[in-house]
Homo-oligomer: A and B are copies of this chain.
């Protein structure tokens, strides 16, 4: 759920003027999201080095890097983590069929294939930057976004 939030917030920040920022309250109102929970996600993006935060009366968030240097993978992994959703609990070492430890020094071939698939997913998202997303928006989007955000 919050994955969608942060992807849209990053795309929103990408449409601002170079020195402009957006606050948690502005982003929450823009998408009708619960501000306290959104704030946690935005902080995670700051910790990941994707967003930069400034404090003070005109403080808020902006992108920490040019849009061509921020990938969807970096945004997604900032809030969802880098771990594959596949959980390997080494059941090959349990029960009547348990393999001895010396046969389990390499990863199970099934875990390897699931890891390969996760890497394919990561490569796909690493190949898309915020600049690519901006290039796909209609020409009127950035000015509309800026006027509705403030």
**Chain A interface residues (CB < 8 Å from chain B):** 1, 3-5, 7-8, 11-12, 28-33, 72, 85-89, 91-92, 94-98, 103, 109-111, 113-114, 116-125, 128, 133, 136-138, 145, 148-149
Contact = CB atoms under 8 A, between A and B. Distances in A.
Nearest to A73: B117
Contacts of A110: 4, 7-8, 11, 72, 133
A19 to B, nearest CB: 21
Contacts of A122: 117
Contact of A32 (B4, B5, B95, B109): B95
Contacts of A98: 32
B5 A96 contact: no
Copies of this chain in the oligomer: 2
B109 A133 contact: yes
Given A86-B3, A124-B120, A109 B137 contact: yes
Q: Which 5 A-B pairs have the closest CB atoms?
A: A32-B95, A117-B124, A120-B124, A30-B97, A121-B121
A30 B96 contact: yes
Contacts of A88: 4
A113 B128 contact: yes
A124 B31 CA distance: 35
Which one of A31, A88, A133 has the greatest number of beta carbons of chain B within 10 Å?
Answer: A31
Contact of A72 (B11, B12, B113): B113
